[in-house]
A = this chain, B = another copy of it.
Amino acid sequence: MQKSPATLKAIAEQLRVSVSTVSRALNDHPRISEKTKSRVKELAEKLHYVPNPAALLLKKNKTYTIGVLLPFLKEEFFSLAISAIEDTLMPEDYHVLISQSRDSLEREKKMIESFIASRVDGLIASVSAETNHYGHFKALEEYGIPVVFFDRVPRNIKCHKVRNSVTQGAKEAMRFLVNKGVTKIGLINGPGNLEVSGERLNGYLEAAMEFGIDARQHYIKSGNLTREETEQCMMELLALEDRPQAVLTFNDYVALYAMSACRKAGVEPNKDILFVSFANLPITSFLENPPIASVEQFASKMGAQAANLLLKCLQNQESELDYQEIIIKTELIIH
């Protein structure tokens, strides 16, 4: 009980050698005899020796811990990304510290303080719906902690980014609808401070122009991604005289909220009004009546790429200066 973990000292004493010999043996130092090495390793194994991370941090200034900061774990997009991040980082012997901002800027700041306190080696982040400035992230970089953003990346800021070709995805979604003969298309977008909202809007507008359909201002709504605001947006669209025949939504959750608002209003989703969304989450496969198409964002791939980019930053610090931007192609999936 309360048997504390084995230390180098304990091994050294039992073997009647010095602590440094043990340390070197375990690190496969070239100038240690094979015989000593095997004796040491054997005993270490037997004692279940695991190096004390605190001592390592103290010496090397490295915790082998990566922070991941994202809005909501419960959103499948993010939990898929997390799994990919884990799978990429764990083989490299990194631990992963996960935190949720829950789309609150204040929480996001708190979590970053906590990451600094625990001395993470790097951070992978997707910003909250409220985030409109990035000073708290800059603080990390001042401490030499590299940050890689994914999906919800900051707007107009030089930083490492892994993001989707959202504009193009939005255009494809629009083309799909136009080809179906739909000309009145609404947009329920995310908050304007997110670059990904801007890109959806751009895709929407470019497509409208290109296909010569009417992108009337009142067809464009933006909410904070909550159920409440989304239902509100949908109600406003439904109340219009020239009600849209289809709606493009920020993501699958927003689509689900909007569709449930329709049902409450006696409007049949995908019959009276078509839905196309972003993300294409597995969750939608449970629905009898999912959005008719979805712009796949490849959450796992994004997570893996973000983790790989961070690993690269961690390996050669010089690369801190030229920020990388990785763009994952989206793909329109028709259900």
**A contact set with B: CB distance below 8 Å:** 1-5, 50-58, 61, 63, 65, 72-74, 76, 79-80, 82-83, 86, 90, 95-100, 102, 113-114, 116-119, 141-144, 256, 260, 263, 283, 285-289, 317, 320
Contact = CB atoms under 8 A, between A and B. Distances in A.
A103 B163 CA distance: 30
A285 B80 CA distance: 21
Contacts of A118: 53, 65, 95
Given A3-B144, A55-B58, A143-B4, A100 B83 contact: yes
Nearest to A117: B50
Given A3-B144, A4-B61, A117 B54 contact: no
A53 B83 CA distance: 27
A39 B54 CA distance: 29
Contact of A80 (B74, B82, B117, B320): B74
A72 to B, nearest CB: 8
A256 B282 CA distance: 12
A4 B142 CA distance: 8
Nearest to A2: B144
B61 A58 contact: no
A288 B288 contact: yes
A229 B288 CA distance: 21
A285 B74 CA distance: 15
Contacts of A51: 117
Contacts of A142: 1, 3
Contacts of A55: 54, 58
Contacts of A4: 61, 143-144
A102 B86 CA distance: 12
Contacts of A56: 54
Which of A54, A63, A144, A288 has the most chain B CB within a 10 Å cutoff? A54
Contact of A116 (B5, B79, B90): B5
Given A2-B143, A73-B79, 11 more contacts: A1-B141, A1-B144, A2-B144, A3-B142, A52-B119, A53-B54, A95-B97, A256-B286, A260-B285, A260-B286, A287-B288
A207 to B, nearest CB: 28
Contact of A286 (B82, B102, B287): B287
Contact of A119 (B53, B74, B143): B53
Q: For the complex of A and B, list the 6 residue pairs with the smallest distance between their C-beta atoms, beginning with the closest.
A: A54-B57, A74-B79, A2-B144, A54-B54, A73-B79, A256-B286
Contacts of A83: 73-74, 100, 102
Nearest to A141: B1
17 contacts: A2-B143, A2-B144, A2-B317, A5-B143, A50-B113, A54-B56, A54-B63, A54-B119, A73-B73, A73-B82, A73-B83, A79-B79, A86-B99, A96-B97, A96-B99, A263-B288, A288-B288
